[in-house]
């Protein structure tokens, strides 16, 4: 049987990404439908989440599916010693699809290899976060009118940030120029830079972060320093407040530049920026609903054509 799981965005061609974005557009036009009536979606979150879990669950609910799952593994048999394999096999008996976030890199790949139902990776450690990338791509397209030839500035924790790792891989189809702005301790890992070289992706690295450096950006993608991934909390303390985007830093920004952030924000964007026309992170989070509706449908084998001809639209 074809494996319809989504483990990494790197598996998707340009054509497939564009197809999923078209699906998401249909859901932005009409998010409430009964397309998934009778289906059960499981959300297994072994790590904290607000947006990702709630938008996946909203996505399922607005399409008429029912949702089971947990937001905190402490209430599961994992605390009694049950293995991930057993949990996945068991939940596969109950649900048609599993959305899973796990702290171990590779957990989603492993689950997709053993589960008889599709797995959607909702984040695996510092590795990948493909559903976030779909909403990021949707947002970039929405704000720039294209995904091609853009200058994308990634700022903050490029070492542990899974959202930037996924975005980098997805953008290989679209001839981007990346700027990596990070303290040395949190620089983009060497294997992602190798990936850039292998795929002809241009990148420039910076440590300074000021109005001049970001003046060429089409997208300024801010990230949180991933406290939970540090083994040395002293190191976290040293780097955590290194890059704070302040309003005057936008003085030379392109008028069309948009600031994205996967959220949660801690101390990366000052609140005064929220009302600035460059700020787009809350609209970005809203797009998570539509992108995740598309991903759930695609994993369940529902096509764009079916969605376009859907007669179950409620509003």
Q: Could you say which of 132, 133, 166, 293 contacts ligand NCD (CB under 6 A)?
A: 132
Tokens for 70, please give them: 């947990």
Q: Which helix (H) or strand (E) holds 85?
A: helix 84-92
- Residue 124: phi, psi to the nearest 5? -125, 100
**Residues 275-314 vs ligand NCD: string with x where CB under 6 A?**
----------------------------------------
Q: Could you say which of 39, 129, 278, 292 contacts ligand NCD (CB under 6 A)?
A: 129
Binding to ligand NCD in span 52-71, by CB under 6 A: 52
Active site residue 199: no
Query: Considering 12, 51, 258, 261, which one is annotated as catalytic?
Result: 51
C-beta closer to ligand NCD: residue 260 or 299:
260
Q: Compute, in degrees rounded to 10, the torsion defined by CA atoms 44, 48, 54, 56.
A: -40
C-alpha closest to that of 180 among 156, 216, 161: 156
Distance of CA 167 to the CA centre of its chain: 8
Which residues in 143-254 belong to E strands, given as ranges? Answer: 151-155, 177-181, 202-206, 219-222
Active site residue 165: no
C-beta closer to ligand NCD: residue 51 or 278:
51
Q: Decide if 126 contacts 159 (C-beta within 8 A).
A: yes
CA dist 105 and 128 (Å) reads 8
The minimum distance between CB 52 and ligand NCD, in angstroms, equals 4
Active site residue 206: no
Binding to ligand NCD in span 252-271, by CB under 6 A: 262-263
Q: Which residues are catalytic?
A: 51-52, 80, 101, 129
User: Which residues contact ligand NCD (rule: CB under 6 A)?
Assistant: 51-52, 123, 129, 132, 162-163, 224, 262-263
């Amino acid at each position: 049987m074809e494996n319809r799981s989504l483990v990494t965005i790197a598996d998707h061609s340009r054509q497939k990404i564009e197809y999923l974005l078209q699906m998401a557009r249909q859901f932005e036009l009409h998010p409430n439908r009964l397309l998934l009536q009778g289906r059960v979606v499981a959300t297994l979150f072994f790590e904290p989440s607000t947006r990702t879990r709630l938008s996946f669950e909203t996505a399922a609910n607005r399409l008429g599916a029912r949702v089971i799952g947990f937001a905190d593994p402490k209430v599961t048999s994992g605390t009694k010693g049950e293995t991930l394999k057993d949990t996945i096999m068991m939940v596969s008996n109950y649900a048609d699809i599993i959305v899973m976030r796990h702290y171990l890199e590779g957990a989603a790949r492993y689950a997709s290899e053993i589960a008889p139902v599709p797995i959607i990776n909702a984040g695996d450690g510092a590795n990948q976060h493909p559903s976030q990338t779909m909403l990021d791509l949707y947002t970039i397209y929405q704000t720039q009118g294209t995904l091609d030839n853009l200058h994308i500035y990634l700022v903050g924790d490029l070492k542990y940030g899974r959202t930037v790792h996924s975005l980098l891989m997805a953008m290989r189809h679209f001839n981007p120029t990346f700027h990596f702005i990070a303290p040395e301790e949190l620089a983009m890992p060497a294997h992602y830079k190798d990936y850039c070289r292998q795929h002809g992706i241009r990148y420039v690295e910076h440590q300074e972060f000021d109005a001049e450096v970001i003046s060429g950006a089409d997208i300024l993608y801010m990230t949180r320093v991933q406290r939970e991934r540090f083994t040395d909390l002293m190191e976290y303390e040293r780097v955590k407040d290194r890059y704070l985007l302040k309003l005057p830093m936008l003085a030379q920004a392109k008028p069309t530049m948009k600031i994205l952030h996967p959220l949660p924000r801690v101390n990366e964007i000052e609140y005064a920026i929220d009302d600035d026309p460059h700020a787009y992170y809350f609209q970005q989070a809203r797009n998570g609903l539509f992108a995740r509706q598309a991903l759930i449908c695609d994993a369940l084998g529902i096509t764009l054509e079916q969605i376009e001809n859907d007669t179950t639209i409620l509003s």
